[in-house]
Amino acid sequence: MTADTTSFDYVIVGGGTAGLVVAARLSENPDYRVLVLEAGVDNSADPRVHIPALYSALAYTDADWGFSTEPQPGLNGRQIPVNQGKALGGSSSINARVFVPPTKTLVDAWETLGNQGWTWDALRPYLARAYTSPEVDKSLEKAMGIGEWTSRENDTPRGPIQTSFPGSASHPIREAWAETFKMNGLAMAHDPFLESSVGGFSCLASIDPATKERSNATTAYYHPNKNRENLCVLTSARVMKIDFDMALPPAPIRATAVQYEQDGELRTVAVAKEVILAAGAFQSPKVLELSGIGDAQLLAQHGIDVVQDLPGVGENLQDHVVSSISYRARDDLETLDALARQEPDAIGQAMQQYTSNRSGPLTSVGVYTYAYLSLPAQDQQQLRELLGSNPPPDESSSSSSSSGSQPPLARALHDIGEKMLLDPQTPSGAYLSIMSQAPRPDVPNSGYPADPAVPGKFFTIAAMLSHPFSRGSVHIQSRDPLVDPAIDPRYLSHPLDEEVLARHMLHIETIATSPPLARLLQQPLARRDPASHLAADLDAAKRYLRAKSTSMWHPAGSCAMMPRALGGVVDARLRVYGVSNLRVVDSSAIPLISTANLQATVYAFAERAADLIKETW
Ligand SMILES: Cc1cc2nc3c(=O)[nH]c(=O)nc-3n(C[C@H](O)[C@H](O)[C@H](O)COP(=O)(O)OP(=O)(O)OC[C@H]3O[C@@H](n4cnc5c(N)ncnc54)[C@H](O)[C@@H]3O)c2cc1C
């Protein structure tokens, strides 16, 4: 679009995962003029973006905001890398592409928190609208580990995101994983996108099955629509703040314009209908605070005029903590360790396979299987006691609780958490397998030591805490828009989080010794890191977590959709409290983090948000 760029019906701040979904859906109506302002560039031609196995090479490049947390007391004071995409497509342009759904109980809990109409039944059609499930030859279903599914999401094209079961269809891990969980009574009965529950399953990736390239918000939602006359996407355009018309009460405050910097110039664009904030979980709260919406005391500290006193902005931050154990694999198992060690011969051969016929190890990131699990029955009684000894604060308490939330929210979260933790049909941990060791690259300026890859073949099982009780925050440190926000997720600050994740870590050992999976590993088990030999010792598991766990890069909840009395920032139609035409649509508005990796949930959330916006006008 080349016409007048000084005024639009909708201005979307952030052309990331959610922002591009909303832009594509709103611009379906030719009467709406839609502008997207994105700080990064369209880097989809970069091989590191589109070749699946190269995603980690994007960390700390121009495509990454390169954030780290404040020192985390719950993780031995370490500063944890929390990378975020700075590109058209946002984090969907740098992520690992695992494509897994939230569970029914989790999404239903959004409504329990006070968001009427946000249930699994309401969200499910939007998950289906966001992606296309891959076609699978019937004869391959057993080997693919999906033979037990009595129903599967339809493979007729539905949504723009293309998905596939990544890597080689015949890799033995899929069937071995599915059989192992089946023998323990934990086969996933259906495609988890249809009726999610507990059990082991082969997982999808947002990789186009035809091209074996990344399918993301840019390729799926923007490129097919980029010639629309009414859609304008500006890249290298960094938003500084939103301007408001401060009408006298009772007239509501209105967003009137957005200020952004491009090519060294400060520009302003006027807004006729709405501003939609989609700058991600760390930067949507930042843009609100810089614009005068947030905790009045914090804004005053930075000399920012208060437009709306909304103390929930930047609070309720959640993320998935993850920890893993790498086991020595059988010598004949196909793994990605040679690539993890960056061996030139292996890279050359893999590149040759990929460029000649889109095959070989570069077609996946080596994550083929998942499991959503509750804790075994023997842990339930202990958890009951732990829940009893960590009660939420009472009505009279005015300070924040051990979870990091104010009392009313802490009570609501305690009740929801208790229900989910004690329900055997609700997972409290999400496990993933990786077909290699999990080395850690050097993280600039973090004091986070590199952990280089070692010789040999490995198979890694990681566990993430699905529903953390801990809550952290993200706030501006300055009124200067170029200064990074202070990110403090308070990982494992709630005592129950460490207790739950430590038990899941011990369960990893049970999985690794259960046949038929165990037959793919060297037995007796040999671990890459001696400290990961936990020997059924809960204290050893807790020490290991504090020393080794990290972020899975899924920040959420920092502009939460919740009642204002609970510290919410947006209502159930995603409108910022006190402002008539400003919404937040991205991971920051999701009130309770998804069960596992977040992108599928963000796509569905944004699809539904687009309908809510369309209903308004
Ligand atoms: C390294 C990594 C690996 C991941 N792996 C997976 C995975 O395998 N599977 C999975 O499901 N999830 C994964 N995730 C998480 C998932 O990708 C994110 O949760 C999701 O993409 C977030 O979407 P969003 O719309 O909230 O934010 P984003 O997609 O990050 O979009 C925010 C956008 O806003 C832009 N922006 C920010 N501030 C401004 C400003 N002031 N002006 C203009 N633009 C601005 C950003 O540049 C960005 O484009 C991963 C994330 C990362 C970072």
pLDDT over 70 for what percent of the chain?
Answer: 97
The three-point CA angle 190-181-194 to 5° equals 15
The three-point CA angle 448-453-455 to 5° equals 155
Annotated binding residue 158: no
pLDDT of 127 strictly over 50: yes
Distance 38 CA to ligand 1 centre (A): 12
Helix axes 377-389, 407-422, angle to 10 degrees: 160
Q: What's the pLDDT tens digit per position in 321-340?
A: 999 999 999 999 999 999 99
Tell the residue nearest (CA) to atom 41 of ligand 1: 239
pLDDT of 2 strictly over 50: no
pLDDT of 438 strictly over 60: yes
598 lines ligand 1 (CB under 6 A): yes
Higher pLDDT, 586 or 441: 586
283 lines ligand 1 (CB under 6 A): yes
Whole-number average pLDDT of the chain: 94
Distance 509 CA to ligand 1 centre (A): 32
Lowest mean pLDDT among 62-71, 73-82, 153-162: 153-162
Structure tokens at 243: 């301007």
Cβ atoms < 10 Å from Cβ of 592:
26
Lowest mean pLDDT among 288-297, 409-418, 461-470, 484-493: 409-418
Q: How far apart are the first and last CA of the chain?
A: 22
Q: What's the pLDDT tens digit per position in 200-224?
A: 999 999 999 999 999 999 999 999 9
DSSP secondary structure string, 293-362? EE-HHHHHHTTPPPSEE-TTTT-SBB--EEEEEEEEBPTTS--SHHHHTT-HHHHHHHHHHHHHHS-SGG
86 lines ligand 1 (CB under 6 A): yes
Q: What's the pLDDT tens digit per position in 439-490?
A: 887 776 666 678 889 999 999 999 999 999 999 999 999 999 999 999 999 9
Which amino acid is it at 199?
G
For residues 504-511, average pLDDT: 96
Distance 520 CA to ligand 1 centre (A): 35
Query: Ligand 1 pocket test: which of 95, 282, 552 has the largest number of ligand atoms within 8 Å of its C-beta?
Result: 95
Domains along the chain with CATH numbers: 47-153+160-223+317-389+396-440+449-616 (3.30.560.10)
Q: Tell me the residue ranges of DSSP E strands in 426-549.
A: 429-434, 458-465, 473-475, 486-488
Tell the residue nearest (CA) to atom 49 of ligand 1: 90
Higher pLDDT, 599 or 377: 599
Q: What are phi and psi of 472, to 5 degrees?
A: -125, -155
For residues 361-366, average pLDDT: 93
Residue 394 CB burial class (10 angstroms; 0-12, 13-18, ≥19) = exposed
Q: Coil, strand or helix: which one is 470?
A: coil
Question: How many residues in the chain?
Answer: 617
Structure tokens at 66: 């390169």
Annotated binding residue 96: yes
Whether the predicted interface score ipTM is above 0.85: yes
Residue 513 CB burial class (10 angstroms; 0-12, 13-18, ≥19) = middle
Distance 233 CA to ligand 1 centre (A): 17
| Atom number, ligand 1, closest to the C-alpha of residue 86 | 47
For residues 170 and 371, the answer to whether their CB atoms sit within 8 Å is no
3 pLDDT band (50/70/90 cuts)?
very low
